[in-house]
């Protein structure tokens, strides 16, 4: 069995092992990390030898930490990262480069259609009819996107939304409300096979699927990091928020994960505060009392036009994993349009949590 895991902002950990009689055998850990002293690597292998094959990452990390030589220094990885790599080996997880990635970047579309496209394309990946897909959104109109479980009245001021001509739509994933405007927002979706995140906890999968964009931002001079559970942040404030939806496999399919991210390229903070009802409780754990201070747009941090930021992100993904141009098929688009009309523009869905 072979498993790989790149710690967010860190180095690659590779584990090769066997499973015999419910325990790990012939464990070999490798990677591009730094480790002192040299004998610590053999200690890690020995700590994992004979461990229960169904042990979770924390249990495996505890075994490693208990046997490391005194004064061991692990740079670019942790004992838990090794545990995650083991879990991915046992779960037979795939890697980004195992797939033929498709890029979809089409003209502006209405907010409700974007919600429907996310569902349809991820269902197609789950069914094995579509390759893993990176979709970059273009917005036809401003919108507030609320999470699947949020209260409509608690999150959005109907008067403010009407005053600014802003649509309110509910997405299929959880998480918080996002305020988007066509020229001020960068949004993308990853529709990936479930096997890509095998062996990762729900929280770890966020960091894993966001790692490529942290690299892309770094190439643009933005020092950003993953901030649990679902934010991308810099020292100046939040840059982006992520959300996920897991989709079960139909007969003959593999299952899939929808991971979508909304990034603030620029923001009209006064308008946002007129539309969103952002409570003090939500801000209290973010170390700020002002939503204006909490979000720091990419335009200021990069000094680049929005279109160039997007193109650099796409180039970074292509360089890492490969990426070829694609499109939404006629059948997928027809299904998405029906779904947008029947579900995502219907009050029964938008106000399902009043």
pLDDT above 60 for 295: yes
pLDDT above 70 for 291: no
Range 121-147 average pLDDT:
97
Distance between CA 174 and CA 183 in Å, rounded? 25
CA-wise closest residue to 84 among 229, 213, 227, 197: 197
Q: What pLDDT is recorded for position 250?
A: 79
pLDDT above 70 for 248: yes
Distance between CA 178 and CA 184 in Å, rounded? 12
Cis peptide before 37 (omega within 30 of 0): yes
Q: What pLDDT is recorded for position 293?
A: 56
CB 133 within 8 A of CB 121: yes
Write out the two tokens for 10: 């860190």
Lowest-confidence segment of 80-94, 132-146, 148-162, 286-300 by average pLDDT: 286-300
Burial annotation 89-101 (CB, 10 A radius, 16+ → b, else e): bbeebbebeebeb
CB 232 within 8 A of CB 225: yes
What pTM value is reported for the model? 0.91
Q: What pLDDT is recorded for position 281?
A: 38
Distance between CA 163 and CA 46 in Å, rounded? 65
CB 297 within 8 A of CB 264: yes
Q: What pLDDT is recorded for position 94?
A: 95
Range 214-235 average pLDDT:
93
Q: What pLDDT is recorded for position 296?
A: 82
| Span 4-49, pLDDT tens digits | 999 888 899 999 999 999 999 999 999 999 999 999 999 999 999 9
Predicted confidence band at 279 (pLDDT cuts at 50, 70, 90)?
low
| Span 329-338, pLDDT tens digits | 999 999 999 9
DSSP H or E segment with residue 350: helix 347-350
Express as a percent the part of the chain with pLDDT over 70. 95
| Span 172-199, pLDDT tens digits | 999 999 999 999 999 999 999 999 999 9
């Amino acid at each position: 069995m072979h498993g790989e895991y790149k710690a967010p902002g860190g180095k690659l950990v590779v584990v090769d092992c066997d499973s015999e009689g419910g325990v790990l055998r012939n464990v070999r850990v490798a990677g591009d990390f730094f480790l002192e002293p040299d004998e610590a690597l053999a200690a890690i292998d020995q700590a994992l030898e004979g461990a229960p094959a169904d042990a979770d990452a924390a249990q495996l990390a505890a075994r490693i930490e208990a046997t490391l030589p005194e004064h061991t220094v692990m740079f670019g990885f942790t004992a838990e990262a090794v545990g995650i790599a083991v879990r991915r080996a046992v779960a037979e997880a795939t890697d980004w480069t195992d797939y033929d990635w498709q890029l979809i970047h089409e003209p502006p579309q209405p907010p409700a259609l974007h919600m429907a496209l996310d569902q349809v394309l991820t269902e197609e990946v789950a069914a094995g009819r579509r390759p893993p897909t990176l979709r970059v959104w273009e917005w036809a109109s401003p919108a507030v996107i609320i999470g699947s479980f949020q209260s409509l009245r608690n999150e959005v001021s109907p008067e403010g939304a009407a005053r600014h001509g802003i649509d309110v739509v509910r997405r299929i994933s959880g998480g918080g409300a996002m305020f988007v405007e066509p020229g001020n927002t960068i949004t993308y979706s990853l529709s990936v096979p479930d096997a890509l995140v095998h062996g990762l906890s729900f929280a770890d999968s966020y960091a894993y699927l966001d790692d490529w964009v942290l690299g892309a931002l770094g190439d643009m001079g933005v020092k950003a990091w993953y901030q649990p559970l679902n934010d991308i942040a810099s020292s100046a404030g939040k840059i982006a928020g992520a959300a996920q939806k897991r989709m079960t496999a139909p007969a003959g399919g593999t299952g899939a994960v929808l991971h979508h991210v909304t990034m603030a390229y620029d923001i009209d903070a006064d308008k946002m505060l007129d539309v969103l009802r952002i409570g003090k409780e939500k801000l209290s754990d973010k170390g700020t009392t002002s939503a204006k201070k909490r979000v720091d747009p990419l335009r200021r941090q990069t000094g680049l036009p929005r279109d160039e930021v997007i193109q650099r992100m796409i180039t970074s993904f292509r360089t890492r994993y490969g990426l070829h141009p694609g499109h939404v098929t006629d059948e997928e688009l027809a299904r998405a349009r029906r779904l947008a009309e029947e579900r995502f523009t219907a009050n029964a869905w938008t106000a399902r949590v009043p």
